[in-house]
Chains A and B, each alone.
Chain A
Amino acid sequence: MKNSWGDKISPAVRALPPSGIRKFFDLVTETEGVISLGVGEPDFVTPWHIREASIYALEKGYTMYTSNSGLLELREEISKDLYRDYGVQYDPRSELLVTVGVSEALDLAMRAIICPGDEVLIPEPSFVAYAPVATLAGGTPVLMPTTVENDFRLLPEQVERAITPRTKALLLSYPNNPTGAIMDRKSLLALAEIAKSHDLIVISDEIYDKLTYVGEHTCLSSLPGMKERTLLLNGFSKAYAMTGWRVAYAAGNPDFIGAMTKIHQYSIMCAPITAQMAALEALKNGRPAMKRMVQEFSRRRHLVMQSFKDMGLPCFEPGGAFYAFPNISVTGLSSEEFAEQLLKEEQVAVVPGNAFGSAGEGFIRVSYAYSSDDLSEAFRRMTKFVRRRGVFPKKVTGPYSIDFVRKEGICQNL
């Protein structure tokens, strides 16, 4: 008798939907001459001083385990960094844990706090892992769609409506992947009040914090009374172009961090020491290079916004990360149709918005972590594509046209 190994897989895992990106990834790999704007990582290679420091650490023989929580020196630097940027103080010995990417930190956070049936509030569109990780931890993800009309911000009344007696945690991720949306201090304060009045834990994924171009990023745990109930997740991937190193951290009260460390020590042991050494160098000497990268992203962001305006695709102004999230419904196509046809006809790869949840339907995610030459060529092709579908820029007329065009955030009005 033939054994059906598939039946032996845990039902919980079988029930997980495969990543929406995977299918499209295969399609892109099969196509030749593709310019891909589908990547969720910086186009910069890790700055040389960081790579060099890590090579030096290897030469010196730093190849052993570190403490479960991560190198103390690294935790101390993380603590200093958080204090300098956001004025929030974390004890490096009991309130910080170095993890293998924010992905691990997120998984630990969910596993540490979720009891079977607990509900986790998650805004959508958002990073593909949030809901599956909550499910795997035995929780129930409750998705809250955010809309372009509200600049993809999460509204307090939305959260209020979604809360039930089973609600355990609220997940926030701003600046947001895939929309580029940010939340200002005032909007976050409103959410913080709700979290406090309903005794919710807030898991705040702030991996894109340094990539904020409009105003200043507000760290959730820096809000009054929020530090104790916030699990702050951050890392080095985006700000220091260190995605492949897989090193990040979680910051929170000693009970949360202690619980997460317990899981971490049994499943991971510790983050790789080479990556930790690199992260240490990034925090100590990485600011100038990081600032240069951020400036470059910021310049490209304007270029991308202008390109969509010229193209005739309405696009809200992303305040952070390195994504634009234009509305493609004017073409009459669904997100997946748009992405597939664009790939077939013009060999440009973008990610369909619905890969980040159904609230992303009607949008595509365009990453601008590419050289301006690649971006220009991709936008030239994309313009041809939308023209064939009868999309043209709206003419701006009238005596106020110049001011109108220059105003920040104009694209959402077009």
Chain B
Amino acid sequence: MNKRDILELLESNAKLTVEEIAIMLNTDAETVREEIRNMEANKTILKYMTLINWEKAGEEKVDAMIEVRITPQRDTGYDSVAERIYRFPEVRSVRLMSGTYDLAVFVEGRTMKEVANFVSTKLATIEGVVSTTSHFVLKTYKQDGVIIDDEEEDRRLVISP
């Protein structure tokens, strides 16, 4: 048993109990509990979340990916501008990219107008932001390794030798 095994199990199913993990990895619950506690403390494990299909829940949400070009700052490079962006709760993720733009910013809102408003009044006006290009998400097929509408089901015979 090592940390990696625990993390793999939790990454695919955060609902697993310490006892279940211990059984699957053939170790005792106390060891697993201790490892998890350590990894939570040192922020290896950041958060336990649930992947939700909001459309199924009847919620309208609008996601957009904004390509942001920024001017790197002396001493901090891209970090200080990135921080000013990622502190907004509307921003779901921020990644520094190689290529023609710098930051890939994922923004979530209830309407297109709300997202557009956020980009034009908050994001684009941050000092150091040179330009923004917004791409609205039309459909999500797969997210975090999970296929959203997976039509593959168990088609095996109920009994086979």
Contacts and interface: CB of A to CB of B under 8 A. Distances in A.
A25 B23 contact: no
B23 A128 contact: no
Interface string B145-161: 00000001010111111
Contacts of B152: 45
Interface stretch (A5-13, A31-39, A160-168, A260-268): A31-39
Interface residues of B, number: 16
Interface string A294-317: 000001101100100000000000
A28, A300, A372: most-surrounded residue (chain B CB, <10 A): A372
Interface in A303-337: 303, 306
Interface string B14-30: 00000010011110100
Interface string A261-301: 00000000000000000000000000000000000000110
Contact of B158 (A34, A300, A355, A406): A34
Contacts of B25: 299, 302
Interface residues of A, number: 30
A21 interface: yes
B97 interface: no
Contacts of A45: 152
B159 A299 contact: no
A128 to B, nearest CB: 5
A344 B120 CA distance: 64
A137 to B, nearest CB: 19
B9 interface: yes
B28 A299 contact: no
A345 interface: no
B20 A303 contact: yes
A19 interface: yes
A129, A302, A351: most-surrounded residue (chain B CB, <10 A): A302
A49 to B, nearest CB: 15
A229 B141 CA distance: 53
A303 B9 CA distance: 13
A402 B28 CA distance: 10
A25 B158 contact: yes
A43 interface: yes
Given A39-B156, A41-B156, A43-B154, A129 B23 contact: no
Nearest to A213: B26
B26 A38 contact: no
Given A39-B156, A43-B154, A299 B161 contact: no
Given A303-B20, A303-B24, A21 B156 contact: no
Contacts of B9: 299
Contact of A299 (B24, B154, B156, B157): B24
A127 to B, nearest CB: 6
A29 interface: yes
B26, B154, B161: most-surrounded residue (chain A CB, <10 A): B161
B52 to A, nearest CB: 18
B24 A38 contact: no
A43 B153 CA distance: 10
B138 to A, nearest CB: 24
B158 A302 contact: no
Nearest to B157: A39
A21 B23 contact: no
A25, A349, A402: most-surrounded residue (chain B CB, <10 A): A25
A40 B158 contact: no
B24 A300 contact: yes
A125 B83 CA distance: 65
Contact of B159 (A25, A303, A402): A25
A240 interface: no
A24 interface: yes
A36 B158 contact: yes
Given A43-B154, A302-B25, A302-B26, A28 B159 contact: yes
A137 B160 CA distance: 24
Contact of A349 (B23, B154, B158, B161): B158
Contacts of A351: 159, 161
A335 B160 CA distance: 17
Contacts of B161: 19, 21, 40, 127-129, 177, 351, 355
A326 to B, nearest CB: 16
A177 B161 CA distance: 8
A306 B23 contact: yes
B159 A39 contact: yes
Contacts of A408: 26
Given A38-B159, A299-B24, A303-B23, 6 more contacts: A24-B159, A25-B158, A28-B159, A36-B159, A40-B160, A406-B28
The 7 closest A-B pairs by CB, nearest first: A299-B24, A38-B159, A25-B159, A36-B158, A40-B160, A128-B161, A306-B23
11 contacts: A25-B157, A25-B159, A29-B158, A38-B158, A38-B159, A39-B158, A43-B154, A128-B161, A303-B24, A306-B23, A402-B28
